[in-house]
């Protein structure tokens, strides 16, 4: 699989937005207690409480065991009767898909 780094800024922006969306949708709303520290005039937050860590190695193993092979995924094609979401004009142009998928030139698409 080759990477075209010409699309890197868009790809990075997309991935960063997904990370932001994940943080916003699963934000930690735990209450942080505070304690007095000898070098602080104000109370200092105790960040060592209320943590529920996940076993990242277990998550990674699950992903490795259950993910679809990249080549198999790339070979999947949309069924003829499947509804398609509209990509923005800019997204189509960026990836070179506009010529085969013309639109009205607006960026009102759901994707991109």
Helix/strand/coil for 48? coil
The string over 73-97, giving b where at least 16 C-beta atoms fall within 10 Å of a residue's C-beta and e elsewhere, is: eeeeeeeeeeeeeebbbebbebeee
β-partners of residue 34 are 45
Which residues of the chain are modeled with pLDDT < 50? none
β-partners of residue 111 are 87
> What is the predicted pLDDT for the residue at 68?
92
Q: Where are the chain's structural domains?
A: 5-94
Q: Which two tokens stand for residue 13?
A: 């922006």
> What is the predicted pLDDT for the residue at 6?
66
For every residue of 53-87, which 3-state class applies, written as one string? CCCHHHHHHHHHHHCCCHHHHHHCCCCCCCCCCCE
pTM (predicted TM-score): 0.47
> What is the predicted pLDDT for the residue at 50?
66
Cβ pair 47, 32 in contact under 8 A: yes
Exposure on the CB side of residue 71, measured as CA atoms within 13 A? 1
């Amino acid at each position: 699989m080759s990477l075209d780094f010409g699309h890197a800024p868009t790809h990075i922006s997309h991935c960063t937005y997904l990370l932001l969306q994940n943080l916003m949708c699963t934000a930690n709303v735990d209450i942080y207690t505070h304690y007095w520290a000898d070098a602080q005039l104000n109370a200092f937050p105790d960040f060592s409480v209320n943590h529920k860590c996940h076993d990242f190695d277990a998550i990674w193993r699950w992903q490795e065991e259950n993910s679809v092979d990249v080549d198999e995924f790339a070979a999947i094609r949309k069924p003829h009767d499947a509804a398609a979401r509209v990509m923005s004009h800019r997204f189509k142009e960026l990836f070179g898909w506009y010529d085969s998928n013309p639109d009205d030139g607006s960026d009102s698409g759901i994707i991109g």
